[in-house]
Structures are given as structure tokens and as C-alpha cells.
Structure 1
Amino acid sequence: METMSCPRCGADMVSRALGDGEVSQCPEGHGVFLSRLDLGALTEAELDWHRHAGQHTAPLPRITADMTEAPPSAKAPARAWVETLFD
């Protein structure tokens, strides 16, 4: 596939594997490009993620006498599978 340029800033878009497909992303954060086939696969993966997403809870930390500060806060769970791709 030929290298694409971002329509906003003109930078070469960076391609990377995304599941079974490929996504091209502007290095400046202006957007992404997916082929129709890759977009369909991404949509199906998103639907599967929501179908199987349940309540994910972490165990509570054990409180001990030697603790001097609060435990680190947990990272908020992803609202969608797509969010997990662009950390």
C-alpha cells in the first residue's frame, strides 16, 4: 500500500497492524484512515468486545499498619475496545 499523507498537515501517515487489518494514523494526532474492509473488521471486534465485557473489578488492597499513603488509583476501564488501541 502506498504511503498516505494527512489531509490536514501533510505529514506521512504511520501504518500499523490492527487485529487482522491495518490502520494509518497521523503522527500529529489529526486522525486515522481505515479501508472499508478493515473498518468492518474493527466494527465486528468492537461488537464482540461489548458482548463479552462484564464488570471487571480489582480486589480491594489489604490494609496494613505500615501503610503511610493511599494505594495508587486504578486506571479507569476502557469504555470501548477501540479505546484500548490508542493508549
Structure 2
Amino acid sequence: MDDMTCPQCGESMAERTLGHVTIQRCTGCSGVFLGRADLGALIEAENDWHAHQSANTAALPRITSEMSRPPVVPERSRAFVETLFKS
């Protein structure tokens, strides 16, 4: 496939693949291009990601004076789409 150029700014587009989704992202303005099939796969992956969120949430504890600071937990992506744009 030939290298794509961004229709907005003319910079080159870099390909990024995650799972079954392949996008082209502009190196200049960060614009995104993806095919219709990739859009459908992206929507399915996003829905699956959110469907499994309830298992990862815990009830909030009651705050008391003898509590200590909770351990630092690595930040998790808020959505599957966000994982496509992390470097």
C-alpha cells in the first residue's frame, strides 16, 4: 500500500494496529483515517471493553479516621479507543 498523506495538512500518515483495528494517524495534526471495516471492529471492541468494566470495579469503602492512604494503582485507559493513541 502506498504511503498516505493527510488531506488536512499534507504530512505523512503512520499506520497503527491494535487487535483487529488498523488506523492511519497523521504525524503532523494527529488526524485519523480508518476504513469502514475497521470502524465496525473498533465499535465492537469498544463495546466489549465497556461490557467487562463492571467486573473491575469495587465498592467504595467507608471513610474512617484510622484508614491509611490506598496503594497507587497504575492508571487504566478509560476506553479501548484511548489505547490506540497511547505511544
TM-score in terms of structure 1 length: 0.70
C-alpha distance in structure 1 between counterparts of 2:18 and 2:49, whole Å: 15
Map 1:20-35 onto structure 2 (within 5 A).
20-35=20-35
C-alpha distance in structure 2 between counterparts of 1:53 and 1:42, whole Å: 17
Unpaired segments ≥5 residues, structure 2: 60-68
| Conserved? CA contact 1:8–1:30, under 8 Å | no
Q: Percent identity?
A: 48
State the secondary structure of the residue aligned to 2:22: strand
Query: 1:64 maps to which residue?
Result: none
Higher relative contact order (CA 8 A, sep 6+): 2
CA separation of 1:19 and 1:30: change in aligned 2, threshold 3 A: same
Moved over 2 A (4+): 73-79
Aligned length: 75
